[in-house]
Chain A
């Protein structure tokens, strides 16, 4: 099984000089193809920071962070953009584009790539929305959807590009128990079908059972 994420001895701090705030300390973790890893830990322990570094959204300088065989430590913007394009992101807030319908929102992922026609993109997006149970909501705008439906649209948006990795940061935090579990169940099912690896940050203990592996971060250190 190939390794998609390989992090070794990652150190990261915010600020500089007197005000330096170390957030990640000597973090080492690797994630394989198709693996579902949950990261838990108290608030402020550095989970989000870790996710933004692995996702190519934040620059780190010490250690080694290899994602899809690209070294992200001291990388260029170009490398980070390339990595981002191969990752599906699911945010705590759904972060859909308000002016676009569910279908158009999901298509935004596909518009970054060449080759496909408008019809192909829309068909693909519609099939993905169908898969998350929103086949009857294709032309609804975000403010016409419930919180759980919106989060499922953003799951569709993350998965429609067939990424090898999905990064999710507390995707159930703003949802009630039932729609949260529903969203995570769909995510797991679709990921397993396509062999996508998932790194999911949460402190929602109700969803731990979906994981292949759970790691705990405390004060920037991974506990065994």
Chain B
């Protein structure tokens, strides 16, 4: 028997049986579609979470980074002594170091006066800690007393800052301390902070009167060009106090990401949601395939009596599973694209629909339907040709 007959005939019969009962077909497609949307949304939120978690460290301009070992992530740092960072200057490869101060503080909406928490980054304006042009260009303004720059990608609840600045209304309060906004930049929000401002180290101490310049949240180290970063990292870490971590740029990104993946249960929750979506879909598709076999058992037994072999029916079941996967995935994918846009416009989270995500999820759905097929084929034994007469 040639290959076309091997696969095409059972697939064609599967298709004809599927479209014969439209109501059942629509119900089946809805089951797959449901699983599809669930998985798309869970994975979309997860990727968005990781992308936004890394938005701040992504723009940091340094080769090595010091953090307290108890700092689980940048948004909840534990202080350590500035002198720890200064000691690294003793290494010949280290060109310059600068401390970064981090703090969450309430920011007053200029129009509504409602306060909402955002992230405050404090550093020496000359150090140019962020690779963001708008911040670099404003280093003169940043040196002024009680001045901050505001992240335009912050959530809209903080107010429409750009038109306010253009209208000359730039004074607000952070941590009940009066500051003036003298510029905008774009960094991006994360699950930890709905907005960001940057300011000078001196202004940071004014906004947070309980903090002092000797206790820092992160140390940024720049090396002389051309030095092997890994080697310097190893040498420095042997000299440093054991309570500090020393990360390369990539390690810092990974550390931030892993916090959300592991320490915060959020990564787990989305992973769990994905698995649950697939399990629910699996059960639905299994149920559909199973009842389909039961309903067609006399027809299958008739075909067996005519000389059709067991493998034909196995291929038929898998073809049915494949059609359900494709028929459910296409509308599921289209609806998810709409939902991603909705999430981006309503929740201000980056939710890109990438081609690789579409392919990945299609294979998830296809595997889900295939496994359902494997579970259902045992029911084919119910089609016994001897019971046909």
Residues of A at the B interface (CB closer than 8 Å) are 48, 51-52, 55, 57-58, 81-82, 84-86, 89, 91-93, 95, 97-100, 104, 108-109, 111-112, 114, 157, 169
Contact = CB atoms under 8 A, between A and B. Distances in A.
A57 B305 CA distance: 7
B308 A92 contact: no
Given A100-B16, A114-B1, A89 B305 contact: yes
18 contacts: A57-B385, A57-B389, A81-B307, A81-B309, A82-B307, A86-B307, A89-B302, A91-B305, A95-B298, A95-B388, A97-B13, A97-B303, A99-B21, A111-B5, A112-B306, A114-B1, A114-B5, A169-B389
Contacts of B19: 99
Kindly list the 5 A-B residue pairs having the minimum CB-CB distance in the complex, ordered from nearest: A85-B307, A99-B20, A84-B307, A169-B389, A95-B302
Given A95-B302, A100-B16, A114-B2, A48 B308 contact: no
With most chain A CB atoms within 10 A of its CB, the pick from B1, B13, B21, B306 is B306
B9 interface: yes
A57 B306 contact: no
Contacts of A109: 306
Contact residues of B: prevailing secondary structure = helix
Interface in B295-326: 298-299, 302-309
B16 A99 contact: yes
Interface in B270-311: 298-299, 302-309
B309 to A, nearest CB: 6
B300 to A, nearest CB: 9
B12 to A, nearest CB: 9
A84 B299 contact: no
A89 B299 contact: no
Interface of B: 1-2, 5, 9, 13, 16-17, 19-21, 298-299, 302-309, 385-386, 388-389
A112 B299 contact: no
Nearest to B312: A112
Contacts of B299: 95, 97-98
Nearest to A83: B307
A58 B389 CA distance: 11
Contacts of B304: 84
Contact of A58 (B17, B306, B308, B386): B386
B302 A98 contact: no
B19 to A, nearest CB: 8
A212 B310 CA distance: 37
A84 B310 CA distance: 14
A206 B77 CA distance: 97
B305 A112 contact: no
A93 B2 CA distance: 33
A109 B299 CA distance: 13
B386 A111 contact: no
A91 B386 contact: no
B310 to A, nearest CB: 8
B305 A108 contact: no
Contacts of A169: 389
A54 to B, nearest CB: 11
A82 B19 CA distance: 32
B2 A91 contact: no
A162 to B, nearest CB: 14
B232 to A, nearest CB: 72
Nearest to B299: A97
Given A85-B307, A91-B388, 5 more contacts: A52-B386, A57-B305, A86-B307, A89-B302, A169-B389
A154 to B, nearest CB: 9
Contacts of A84: 304-307, 385
Nearest to B301: A95
A85 B309 CA distance: 10
A98 B386 CA distance: 20
Contacts of B308: 112
B388 A108 contact: no
Contacts of B5: 111, 114
Contacts of A99: 16-17, 19-21
Contacts of A57: 305, 385-386, 388-389
A85 B16 CA distance: 23
Nearest to B9: A111
A52 B306 contact: no
A169 B302 CA distance: 13
A100 B5 CA distance: 18
Contacts of B13: 97, 100
Contacts of A92: 389
A160 B136 CA distance: 85
A74 to B, nearest CB: 16
A168 B19 CA distance: 32
A100 B296 CA distance: 13
Contacts of A85: 306-307
Task: Find the residue from B9, B298, B299 having the highest chain A CB count within 10 A.
Answer: B299
A139 to B, nearest CB: 13
A19 B299 CA distance: 31
Given A85-B306, A109-B306, A98 B20 contact: yes
Nearest to B305: A89
A55 B305 contact: yes
A98 B305 CA distance: 17
Nearest to A51: B389
A58 B1 CA distance: 25
Contacts of A112: 306-308
Interface centre among B1, B303, B389 (most CB of A within 10 A): B389
A52 B1 CA distance: 27
Most buried by A among B9, B298, B303, B305: B305
